[in-house]
Amino acid sequence: MMPSGKLMIFKATSLTLDTIDGQEVAEGSVPFRLPTSDFRLLSNTGTVAIFILILSMFSALNVFGCMDTLPVTEMGRRHYELAKQTELESIVLLENREHTLPLDKANQSKIAVFGNGSFVPTNGSSGSGTVSGAFTYNLFEGLKRMGIAYDEAVYNHYKENISVNYEWGVSVSVNHHWDTSDKEKWGEARFSNSGWNRESPIADPELGLESQMVASAADFSSDKTAVVYITRGVGTEEMDRFDQPSDWYLNPSEYTLLKQVASAFDQVIVILNTSGSMDLSWMDFDWLANDPDYNEGGSLTPAFAKACANKIKGLILSYGSGSYHGVVMAELLYGEEDFSGKLADSMTKTYSQQPTKDNFHYVTYADKGLNDKDFNALNGKDDPIYLYQESIYTGYRYFDTFAADDVLYPFGYGLSYNTFAFKDYKVEADEAENTIRVSATIANVSDEKGLPAGKEVMEVYVSAPEGALEQPYQKLVAYAKTGKLAPGAAETVAVTIPVADLASYHEKKAAYVLEAGDYLIRVGNSSRNTHIAGMITVNDEIVAGQLSNKLTLNGADPTGKADNKAVYDSIRFSTKAKRPADPAVYGYQNPNDRKEIEEARASALLIDENFVAFTDNSGNNTSFAAGRAPDDYVATLTAVKKGEISRADFVAQMTKDELVNFLSGGYGARNSEQYYSDDPALQINHLTSKDAEKGWIGGAGSSRNIRRLGIPSLTYADGSAGIFISASTAKQLGIDPNPGFARAAGMACTWNPELQYQWGKAIGEEMRAINVDIWLAPSINLHRNPLNGRNTEYYSEDPVLSGKIAAYVAKGVAENGVSVCLKHFAGNDQEWYRRGLHTPASEARGENKDAANTIVSERALREVTLKPFEIAVKSGQVMCVMSAFNKINGKYCAASDELLTGILRGEWHYEGFVVTDWGDFDEIPHAADEMRAGNDMIMSGYHTRYKIPDQIYQNVVKSYSGQPHTVSLDQLRRNAAHVLNTILFSRNAFTEDNDYNLEKHLSHKLEIMTTQLPAAIVGMDYAKIKVNPIVVAGSEGATRYTFSIGAGGDPLPAALSLHGNGSITGMPAPEDLGKYKLLVQVEDDRGNVATKPLELEVANQKEKVKDQENDETTKAAQLPVDRGLMLDPPDNSELKATIGKAFSRRITASGGTVESFSYTLSPNSDALPQGLIFQDGLISGKPEPGTAGVYSIVVRASEIGGSFRSSEAGYRLVVSE
């Protein structure tokens, strides 16, 4: 999606400090960048001392008003309470050595506080995932509320060295005093070089601390306790993270601070406030102490281990920060609440232990010895690939099967202050429902006094027998969470699992099957702490679902001769053949397995085909039956909602012009107005949403409406953790600004289905409040690699956990009559080159790159990559899916009929619409191919190298017969029907009584918009001249309207007929020559009537051609004629600016029907770099330091008066040093 972050500038200035651990502190200025939105440095007067080590870009606090005065509405109160609860349950306790936590409020009322993060905890989002709350409590504020004291001298040190400037947005300055020129020690930012040229994250150095300051803080604290925040920023759209210092590894300033604090304090609690996993080898002090040569991260030595060993007692994980981060963290630290979060990923000590390490970042066909031609590569051997060498073994499925010892903290793991015991396991089968029920009683058996009530998670895994199909050691199938349990309390928790969920995909049979053998049902609170609760025995193979193979590896070869599957099978991980490429098999083994298996065998449940509801989707019936448009009236979309006309008949009314405009972009996308055959009054590129029209909705724009047919525009909103409601919008609407919820990756750590559902419900309520129809979330690609730039937007490494969360969230959103948009479908588990590289510069250099090709077996595709989408589509109420930029096995996802139609609709029976991602740069498929494949609508963006509507409009054929880059009218109508199904679902568009929602959408007086009729030619069918019916606006709320020739004008020529649907048909004869002054009338079913005089000329063809050649001057003098609104400089021009130097460039419009224009920046535009402003068409100012880069600036010019036409031009603003 479009970028929404701003580029903030940090500048270090000189300050005298001692030499720190042998490294001289740099003097002078060191610039670095910060992507953020608004920032506020919270004023704190509390007294707790907590050391906070921040290793990141600072993600700023968005504070629209006083925290103590929000929320003010009943809905706001519910949502803010929910935000606090999601934050509470998302935080994971990883270590609690010697039971250091919880801290004692009475005896540890003073504690040391250090670090930049004490001021600015990360909110962990960027790009389309950027949504911050109305405020964010930091830890100072949380501790202050509890009456805990912190050292004022240390607090003031950070206050004096971190400054905030609100002028022209927000900028932050940090005096960190480190020389970061040695990139091997500090890391360096890397750039994607793709269209947006995004930058990888680099953590900023921590503020240096004098030894005496640290020692004084230790003396101040009650018992020399400190808490340390280690924070990591995020990657972003188009760019991932890297295994280098200041990203995956700590940097020198961070090691220095850890050693300083560990040397002065007796117990240190580390809080990982991150956007994803990072190196944790520094937590294994015994290992470090015995490995003096270890230097993977640049600074690890036995000296560090010696300083920190026996000092770091606790480790806490928090994925980003919501509004209540500091309050919740204080409550957890001091035991007012208990930890209940569980990991949604496996955490390793080092990056080298990750199974995808050799198949991440920029990897090419050449790197892997693959023939690019066999995989349909666009440019050659240097095109990027995502090779899924791990096959079905993703995350814990890999570690449990091949590399048990590599895991430091396993999937599903998380500690509590309380101790919980599982007992009374039951596994029961229900033949009538085709399910199994797994239950256990969970008891809080803590005997320590004063502990808060806590929650526990029940995780259910299955270990399938390995027959013809190899299997991972175990895989998650369900989960549930208890309510709060006080010590001594217990709760029985149960989950219901379809038997078909135990099946595996058999590629040779193209079916999901349960192979014969014993299926072990494991229950526990992490993947490494389970017990066998029961056994299911299958004597004869059961076919659960018959499909047909799609997106196969061999299908990628355009020649049909290559055996890509054999090549892939020779290099993938496998438990079967022992090839050199295979990892060693030393999987995890539960020490109690042998005994528990024998116990379970005694009461095993026998399952046969009667326990599975067999489905056969091998035929994939996805045909669309074209309808018949009414002849005697025009039906509006309200008629479909009220059941008066079918969708198929309704879309038959849509002309080619309307279909192309409606489907080929959104409101704000350029170049749409010109796509009409005979009537510029089609009234398509307009908003109908009142709130979007007022500018209250930000994000990704809206779809186009069709006023003639009463089709309202759909409004999208970005944000992986919720939608953004600004203070001004909230004030206008009488609601509260949105709270900051836990990031998506944190939401996964709650493992709480009810909480996830309630979160979705809250988002849906906020969507209704500001008139948003589609929330462009959740993103349910997987944490295939911990360095994925958007892992904070995605839920987990596990497809089942990801899919179930998405389903719960989707149900909650849908309860409000609006919808999520699942993205990115599919295989977009990496950012770099996901849509390749194709810019004017790369083309000139001959360095274009195809969109990355995900190379994966069909079994892994179905069981891992597609599984989250399948679960969410089948279980949640999903009405929008976003296709991905990348390829899968040689085929663009956005143009794959096998993926978008065969699987999504034919197998999963999806009824919503598919929308593309924001395709403005680089290598994306031909728009006609996307339309034909079932990609129903193009997102609101526009491409910089060509006009997307052109690709459709110029390639519409009567019927599709296999020609590339073509699409038929019936395929466009099918797509429109899919989009309309979502609009009909939206309660913003239609009320619960099935009426057009006039409260949410603009309404107009009934009016005939057509201003002139093209001349009819003797002997020519008029329907081929005027292909669009007469256009009406103002039909909102009506179900139908009818045209007629009113009294007071001439009758139509005898050979022509005006139908009730506004079309004029017939073939004039010579005796019909002449001019007819018609009075056209329209009446809707509410009794509203409008008339308009229109002149129709019947002419001979030769005479008409002569008139057109000779009368241009006369025609131009009659009425204002639109000469085509043009902007200067023209579209796609490059503007150049230099940092610190004055820049001025005026954008002017000409043409159209008037001489006066207004100028604005389009919603599709990037924000201007700091130092530049836009006013009345003039871009001026001096770009500030640190703003170097390329910006996509889109200017809109609109007529003042006349026909109120508008046009846009996009510019490539290049800011250089």
**577 with 604, same domain?**
yes
**429 with 298, same domain?**
no
Cα 130 to Cα 779: distance, rounded to the nearest angstrom: 13
Task: Read off the CATH number of the domain in which 398 is found.
Answer: 2.60.40.10
**15 with 68, same domain?**
yes
Q: Tens digits of per-residue pLDDT, 1137-1169?
A: 999 898 989 998 887 656 678 788 876 788 899
Could you tell me if 292 and 69 are in contact, meaning their C-beta atoms sit under 8 angstroms apart?
A: no
1129: preceding bond cis by omega (within 30 degrees): yes
Which residues partner with 420 through β-bridges?
444
Could you tell me if 783 and 801 are in contact, meaning their C-beta atoms sit under 8 angstroms apart?
A: no
Which residues partner with 1074 through β-bridges?
1098
pLDDT score recorded for residue 268: 94
Q: Tens digits of per-residue pLDDT, 605-629?
A: 999 999 999 999 987 778 888 899 9
Cα 11 to Cα 175: distance, rounded to the nearest angstrom: 7
pLDDT score recorded for residue 320: 78
Could you tell me if 556 and 891 are in contact, meaning their C-beta atoms sit under 8 angstroms apart?
A: yes
Residues 829-836 have a mean pLDDT of 92
Residue 1130 pLDDT greater than 50, yes or no: yes
**139 with 217, same domain?**
yes
Count of CB atoms within 10 A of residue 303's CB?
15
Residues 652-678 have a mean pLDDT of 75
Structural domain boundaries enclosing 1139: 1126-1216
Of 1053, 1086, 1110, the residue that ends a domain is: 1110
Q: Tens digits of per-residue pLDDT, 698-708?
A: 556 788 889 99
Confidence of residue 171 (pLDDT cuts 50, 70, 90): very low
Residue 339 pLDDT greater than 60, yes or no: yes
**1039 with 951, same domain?**
no
Maximum Cα interatomic distance, the chain, rounded to a whole number of Å: 108
Quote the pTM value.
Answer: 0.86
Query: Lowest-confidence range among 278-282, 408-412, 475-479, 969-973?
Result: 278-282
Cα 374 to Cα 793: distance, rounded to the nearest angstrom: 34
Residue 291 pLDDT greater than 90, yes or no: no
Residues 636-663 have a mean pLDDT of 96
SS3 label, residue 33: strand
In a domain, 84, yes or no: yes
Confidence of residue 4 (pLDDT cuts 50, 70, 90): very low
Could you tell me if 145 and 330 are in contact, meaning their C-beta atoms sit under 8 angstroms apart?
A: yes
102: preceding bond cis by omega (within 30 degrees): yes
Could you tell me if 931 and 952 are in contact, meaning their C-beta atoms sit under 8 angstroms apart?
A: yes
pLDDT score recorded for residue 684: 65
In a domain, 778, yes or no: yes
Residue 65 pLDDT greater than 80, yes or no: no
In a domain, 820, yes or no: yes
SS3 label, residue 525: strand
Average pLDDT, rounded, for the chain: 85
Residue 1038 pLDDT greater than 60, yes or no: yes
Confidence of residue 16 (pLDDT cuts 50, 70, 90): very low
**848 with 931, same domain?**
yes
**223 with 292, same domain?**
yes
Cα 649 to Cα 653: distance, rounded to the nearest angstrom: 7
pLDDT score recorded for residue 176: 85
**1018 with 979, same domain?**
no
In a domain, 756, yes or no: no
Half-sphere exposure (Cβ direction) of 43: Cα atoms closer than 13 Å: 3
In a domain, 347, yes or no: no
Pairwise pLDDT comparison (130 vs 1177), residue with the higher score = 1177
Q: What percent of the chain has pLDDT over 90?
A: 60
CA distances from 1140 to 175, 505, 1190, 1215, 1217 (A): 22, 60, 16, 10, 8
Helix or strand (DSSP H, E) at 216: helix 211-220
Task: Read off the CATH number of the domain in which 259 is found.
Answer: 3.40.50.1700
Residues 848-861 have a mean pLDDT of 96
CA distances from 129 to 213, 685, 775, 897 (A): 39, 27, 11, 28
Residues 534, 535, 541, CA angle at the centre, nearest 5°?
155
Could you tell me if 307 and 259 are in contact, meaning their C-beta atoms sit under 8 angstroms apart?
A: yes
Q: Which of 891, 933, 943, 758 is nearest to 89 (CA)?
A: 758
Q: Which of 410, 421, 222, 225 is nearest to 314 (CA)?
A: 225
Cα 479 to Cα 491: distance, rounded to the nearest angstrom: 15
Q: What is the dihedral of CA 1067, 1071, 1075, 1077, to 10 degrees?
A: -80
SS3 label, residue 375: helix
Pairwise pLDDT comparison (1211 vs 490), residue with the higher score = 490
Are β-strands 774-775 and 819-820 bridged in parallel, bridged antiparallel, or unpaired?
parallel
Query: Lowest-confidence range among 50-54, 1179-1183, 1196-1200?
Result: 50-54
Q: Give the DSSP letter of residue 610.
A: G
pLDDT score recorded for residue 45: 28
Question: Residue 886's Cα: distance from chain center in Å?
Answer: 15
pLDDT score recorded for residue 129: 62
CA distances from 759 to 741, 742, 804, 808, 878 (A): 9, 10, 14, 9, 16
pLDDT score recorded for residue 490: 99
SS3 label, residue 325: helix
**477 with 587, same domain?**
yes
Q: Which of 420, 457, 1139 is nearest to 750 (CA)?
A: 457
Amino acid code (one letter) for 1150: S
CA distances from 558 to 858, 859, 899 (A): 18, 22, 18
255 phi-psi bin (left φ>0, alpha ψ -120 to 50, beta other): alpha
Could you tell me if 746 and 342 are in contact, meaning their C-beta atoms sit under 8 angstroms apart?
A: no
Residue 1048 pLDDT greater than 60, yes or no: yes
Pairwise pLDDT comparison (1064 vs 257), residue with the higher score = 1064
Within 8 A by CB and 6+ apart from 913, the residues are: 879, 880, 881, 936, 937, 975, 978, 979, 981, 982
Residues 199-218 have a mean pLDDT of 89
**545 with 687, same domain?**
no
Residues 876-888 have a mean pLDDT of 96
Could you tell me if 521 and 535 are in contact, meaning their C-beta atoms sit under 8 angstroms apart?
A: yes
Residue 808 pLDDT greater than 90, yes or no: yes
Residues 151-170 have a mean pLDDT of 68
Task: Read off the CATH number of the domain in which 677 is found.
Answer: 3.20.20.300
SS3 label, residue 914: strand
Q: Give the DSSP letter of residue 634.
A: E
Residue 52 pLDDT greater than 50, yes or no: no
Question: What tokens appear for 78 in the block?
Answer: 């519910």
Question: Dihedral of CA 916/921/925/931: which sign?
Answer: positive
Residue 1097 pLDDT greater than 60, yes or no: yes
pLDDT score recorded for residue 185: 92
In a domain, 359, yes or no: no
Of 1069, 1086, 1110, the residue that ends a domain is: 1110
pLDDT score recorded for residue 6: 29
Query: Lowest-confidence range among 123-127, 452-456, 1189-1193?
Result: 123-127
Q: Residue 899 phi/psi, 5° resolution?
A: -80, -55
pLDDT score recorded for residue 1112: 39
Beta strands across the sheet bearing 716-717: 716-717, 774-775, 819-820
**645 with 546, same domain?**
no
Of 1080, 1110, 1140, the residue that ends a domain is: 1110
In a domain, 1067, yes or no: yes
pLDDT score recorded for residue 22: 31
Q: What is the dihedral of CA 1120, 1125, 1129, 1131, to 10 degrees?
A: -170
Pairwise pLDDT comparison (120 vs 271), residue with the higher score = 271
Pairwise pLDDT comparison (784 vs 32), residue with the higher score = 784
Cα 453 to Cα 455: distance, rounded to the nearest angstrom: 7
Residues 559-570 have a mean pLDDT of 89
Residues 161-168 have a mean pLDDT of 56
In a domain, 1018, yes or no: yes
Per DSSP, the residues of 584-605 read P-B----TTHHHHHHHHHTTPE
Count of CB atoms within 10 A of residue 1200's CB?
10
Radius of gyration of the chain (CA): 32
Query: How many domains is the chain built from?
Result: 5
With tokens 């309207």, the residue in question is: 1041
**71 with 173, same domain?**
yes
Query: Lowest-confidence range among 183-192, 538-547, 755-764, 801-810?
Result: 183-192
